[in-house]
Structure 1
Amino acid sequence: MFLAALLLPAAAGAQTVYVPNEKSGTVSVIDAATDAVVGTFAAGGRPRGIALSPDGATLYVSDQSANALLVIDARTRRVMASIALGKSPEGIDLSRDGRWIAAAVEEDNAVLLVDTSAMKVVASMPVAGMNPEHAVFSPDGRWLYVSAEDGAQVDVIDVASRSQAGSVAVGRRPRGIAFVPDGSVAYVACELEGKVYAIDVATRGVTASIAAGEFSNGVVAGAGRVFVSNGRSASVTVLETGTHRLLATIPVGQRPWNMAMTPDGRKLYVANGRSNSVSVIDPLTLAVTREVAVGEAPWGVAAGRAVP
């Protein structure tokens, strides 16, 4: 019963994992079936945020050194376009339908909305929180939740009106954000508190603050479990949704940062920024199954369909 609840609908065909290596200026490509690195390619000067199109054909990477969004053909691994974003772009997110990219731009204190068909910025949306780091779409694409490095709140953007609709007070230095699959709850990790906060999306109220590890950063939420990376603790905290009961604390590499789950829900990949590795976790057994060496200072992970 729990297995069926946790796993998402199985993705057709093979799956691929992409890891941006900030200090190497590269992206590592991992075959999710074997957890072997099958390629590495150049991706700007300081690749950070990363997203993969639903069909697996296009990869999006924020390049902090060029202040740009790189649009990369996943088959040829060549940059097809470079879209100016503004100063110091951080995390990016792709709407579920693949239509929009949201990019948090730290020094401009805004979130940019990029039309993936036209390959251009169509809106710049200021936020109240200082130095935004992640902007994450709700599953229905209606909202963007935005964390701010120098704040203690999550700003909520109405995508249709392209403006801030409110904010939710959380702990200091909110980082990663993830919605449960039905979009009813969002979880945000707050680094300086060592906690993850559960937000009721309908009421915009915090329903729980749960202790994680030191310097909580990345968050992945599935049906039944929430995973939180803890930078200083070198671990991933696993919580049960609803009860928020602690299920496990999993040791991983040094300075775990952002994470991603494969579409079939069978593997969680954790970028370890100071170990230059990715930890592969089985979300059911809650065990690390492999450590994969990648480039220098991996910042995040994107997982999805292999290139057709």
Structure 2
Amino acid sequence: MMTRFAALPLFAVLAACGQGGDAFASGAAVTPGEGASPTLFVANKRGNTLSKIDLESGEQVLELDSCTNPHELATSPDGQYVALACYGGTSIDVFRTSTLERVRSVDLGANARPHGIVWMPSGNLYASAEGRQSVFRIDDPTAQTPQLTEYPTGKDGSHMVTVAPDERTAWTTDLSSKTVTKIDLTGTDAPLSVTVGEEPEGIALSPDGSALWVSARGSNQAFELDPVTMEVRSTVQTGAFPLRLAIRPQGDVAVTSDLMDGGLTVIDLDTAKAVRQIAVSGPNEAQERFQVTILWSDDGERIYVAETASNTVAEVDYAAGTVLRRFEVGEGGDGLAILP
């Protein structure tokens, strides 16, 4: 059953000195990135820092302390904030995108180890809490006392999460349990878990909500599931160790991040077939780069690939299948988020 509670003020509020009580109000709606250069944010899990990259110049313009072992990132719908899952702790920390000033630290409770994170257009934020075998919804995460609702998965290693546009359903990949779990966010139905490959980790819902895609790193496969029944519709062979899966915003293809090959597998979603491979570092440099998280640009023309071992992020031209640039980031760059 889901559990609702208010975040404790001690953890939920980290107000900046000298600012009034309305300093963190939502304010007027703004267009994400309006008046600013396209921006990439990177969570550096070994350096315990957060980086800000100007995508026009390719330069890191800020790198500030974040939290212990930071992982996934998500930007707010209005573009003013970026939220960080503190995998080495128990909190979701929220920073201003302009200055990387921390404005909130929302504690999820003992042993939370938050990892996957999604910030929805409604303003609600969802995060997996691997140590608690659950998913949290955080209502209005920039408020002084955000409201928390916890939904148990009952599975070990609930690592990544994706959420339906209507916010009635969420799905997790459960690494240790080797399952994918469907969670009814209305609280009506019990979680439904199915076994999918070996060590399922990457997960994404198609833009129209008709298909759930999962990559299983231990079996070198991607799976298309019916998001309602959780039945496997298609199985696709990928490159070696597909750690992440990301669907192009246009909804035509997905890519998997094949860590051991140093490349990407492109999957046509209409035919559920692998149609090409894109080399990022290639197999000879795969261990030197150790690519992890992948992220599409909003226009679907670029793919950003975090290379954790070399402290870089590769920018890939999707159409040409070539690496355009590499950005220097902090130590152990992993989680990625973007403002157009």
TM-score normalised according to structure 1 size: 0.89
Greater gyration radius: 2
- Of residues 265, 283, 298, the one that matches 1:263 is 298
- The number of residues matched between the two structures is 295
Question: What's the offset of the Cα at 1:121?
Answer: 4.7
Whether contact under 8 Å (1:64, 1:90) holds in the other structure is yes
2:33 and 2:99 mapped to 1: Cα distance? 22
CA deviations 1:94-132 (Å, max 9, x no partner) are 12x142211111121111111125453521111132111
Question: What's the offset of the Cα at 1:76?
Answer: 2.3
Matched letter for residue 225 of structure 2: I
Question: What's the offset of the Cα at 1:11?
Answer: 8.4
Query: Residue in 2 aligned with 1:228?
Result: 256
Query: Residue in 2 aligned with 1:99?
Result: 123
Matched letter for residue 154 of structure 1: V
Matched letter for residue 102 of structure 2: V
Query: Residue in 2 aligned with 1:276?
Result: 311
Q: Comparing both chains, which one has the higher relative contact order based on Cα–Cα distances under 8 Å and sequence gaps of 6 or more?
A: 1
Query: Residue in 2 aligned with 1:82?
Result: 105
Q: Which has the higher strand share?
A: 1
Equivalent position SS for 2:127: strand
Query: Residue in 2 aligned with 1:56?
Result: 79
Query: Residue in 2 aligned with 1:241?
Result: 269
Indicate yes or no: 2:235 matched with 1:212: no
- Of residues 56, 63, 67, the one that matches 2:90 is 67
- 109-118 or 74-83, larger mean C-alpha shift: 109-118
Query: Residue in 1 aligned with 2:192?
Result: 166
Indicate yes or no: 2:45 matched with 1:22: yes
Compared CA separation, residues 183 and 34, structure 1 to 2 (3 A): farther
TM-score normalised according to structure 2 size: 0.81
Compared CA separation, residues 34 and 184, structure 1 to 2 (3 A): farther
CA deviations 1:214-268 (Å, max 9, x no partner) are 2111111122111100122221111111213323222224222112112222221
Compared CA separation, residues 245 and 129, structure 1 to 2 (3 A): same
Unpaired runs of at least 5, structure 2: 1-31, 282-288
Whether contact under 8 Å (1:102, 1:113) holds in the other structure is yes
Compared CA separation, residues 164 and 229, structure 1 to 2 (3 A): farther
Equivalent position SS for 1:50: strand
Query: Residue in 2 aligned with 1:137?
Result: 163
Whether contact under 8 Å (1:126, 1:164) holds in the other structure is no
Compared CA separation, residues 114 and 34, structure 1 to 2 (3 A): same
2:171 and 2:188 mapped to 1: Cα distance? 12
Compared CA separation, residues 140 and 262, structure 1 to 2 (3 A): farther
Query: Residue in 1 aligned with 2:278?
Result: 250
CA deviations 1:47-94 (Å, max 9, x no partner) are 112100122101100123332110111122111111112322212111
Query: Residue in 2 aligned with 1:286?
Result: 321
Question: What's the offset of the Cα at 1:197?
Answer: 0.7
Question: What's the offset of the Cα at 1:37?
Answer: 2.2
Indicate yes or no: 2:136 matched with 1:112: yes
The 4+ residue runs of structure 1 with deviation greater than 6 A are 10-13
Equivalent position SS for 1:299: strand
Matched letter for residue 89 of structure 1: P
Report sequence identity in percent.
25
Matched letter for residue 224 of structure 1: D
Query: Residue in 1 aligned with 2:70?
Result: 47
1:147 and 1:140 mapped to 2: Cα distance? 20
